Amino acid sequence: MDQSLRPVVDETRGIYRVPRRAFVDQTVFERECRAIFDKCWLYLGHASELPNKGDFVTRKVAGRPMLFTRDKDDQYHALINTCPHRGAMVCRERKGSSPAFQCMYHGWVFANTGRLMVVPGHAGYPADYKDDPGKQLSHAPRFDRFGDFFFVSFSPDGEDLATYLAGAGDYLKLVSEQSSKGMTIVGGTQEYSIRGNWKLLAENSVDGYHAASTHSTYLEYLKNANGSTHDTRLAGFGHDLGNGHAVIEYFAPWGRPIANWIPLWGEEGKREIEAIQQDLATRLGRERAERIAKQSRNMIIFPNLVINDVMAITVRTFWPTAPDYMEVNAWALAPAEESEWLRKFRLFNFTEFLGPGGFATPDDVEAIEKCQVGYQAAREAQYNDISRGMLREGGSAYDDELQMRCFWNEWDRRIQEYGE
């Protein structure tokens, strides 16, 4: 690939610059599809979305229509949602429960394991036609889970999922450990689009530097809305988790149903929060319980899975369809046993800040789209700077740009290693 499309790095001087052409170039986009989205482990769904045998959900992953199923033997499947006969989607519903799916075009019927069960007019085919491996629904080449988080890879080889996740695995555990009875996706899917390059949202998701300016309205709102007038500044650290994954972990002024009380929730709420804290400490030890309850986290799992464990928990993916356009899906995650009272505040927090109509997301979308407009001058104004904190001693602050550099290092490695 053209060397002018690579990051410019000078460790000695503390310089890290990213060429803006990488956000607008069609050739780069096509290479990303092959080198990254066709090769990496990609998030498919959460076990709680299939609570019963026979349940299914459909969604797109890296442009492919996928059918995520749970069969009668409690086995999960990641099926390509296209009929091997003439290519129509075999399941057109968003979710539901069914042991089998019938293609609407010619009536072929497939079990929720992918096995071909019925071929109308079978007399016109050989006797063993249904047993032909090429006539079954295709499975994702690789399919694995980490706890209740399911991933697929469209590459038949590569590192296993646990190795790929590296240090991000412990942060997925931190989320899962918030409940002794399991975490669950609450409600449906939030869907929206952004007229910007997908890498901008990857950066934004772990960018602590933009919070004070871009989200100043929300931070001011917190001073009064949560019944407190204490300092609303954020403080914490950024961490390289390996393989392009990164996280910022920090203290913040907002209330967290698991389990950081604010005066707005009153004395009754305080007692409930204290009980949750005690349960966490009994199960996990005081230190880990304090970390889970009191600190917030924003994590990117390369290339496009974001876990925001903040005033609520968001699981978010974003899929590029062009250099300047992406489609975003987001879900709320919560402890299955959470009380109705706390669930109400969690969902309020989720929509108030993290949702597409909340305080944060419209601000972030506006910033991303205005960056994309600015990149139309990429020939004249050629680079973004993500050098903040490179020469800082004693670790990376949460508002440094280590997280973006982790992402771009992995991006560059994969783009360069991919053959023409």
Residues 152-211 have pLDDT tens digits of: 999 999 999 999 999 999 999 999 999 999 999 998 899 999 999 999 999 999 998 887
Regarding beta strands 313-322 and 305-309, do their DSSP bridges make them parallel or antiparallel, or are they unpaired?
antiparallel
How confident is the model at residue 224, as a pLDDT? 65
Q: Which two tokens stand for residue 44?
A: 């498919």
Residues 102-134 have pLDDT tens digits of: 999 999 999 999 999 999 998 899 989 999 999
Q: Do domains 42-157 and 167-417 have the same CATH topology?
A: no
Segment 198-227 mean pLDDT: 80
Segment 357-368 mean pLDDT: 89
Query: Which string of DSSP letters, residue by residue, matches 338-383?
Result: --HHHHHHHHHHIIIIISTTSSHHHHHHHHHHHHHHHGGGTTTS-E
Residues 138-154 have pLDDT tens digits of: 999 999 999 999 999 99
Segment 246-265 mean pLDDT: 87
Q: What is the CATH number of domain 42-157?
A: 2.102.10.10
d(C-alpha 5, C-alpha 22), whole Å: 6
User: Rounded to whole angstroms, what are the CA distances from 274 to 280, 296, 343?
Assistant: 10, 18, 16
d(C-alpha 344, C-alpha 260), whole Å: 15
Q: Is the pLDDT score of 297 beyond 70? A: yes
Q: What is the CATH number of domain 167-417?
A: 3.90.380.10
d(C-alpha 158, C-alpha 162), whole Å: 12
d(C-alpha 129, C-alpha 108), whole Å: 12
Q: Where are the domains of the chain?
A: 42-157, 167-417
Half-sphere CA count of 181, side-chain side, radius 13 A: 9
229 pLDDT band (50/70/90 cuts)?
A: very low
Segment 321-349 mean pLDDT: 93
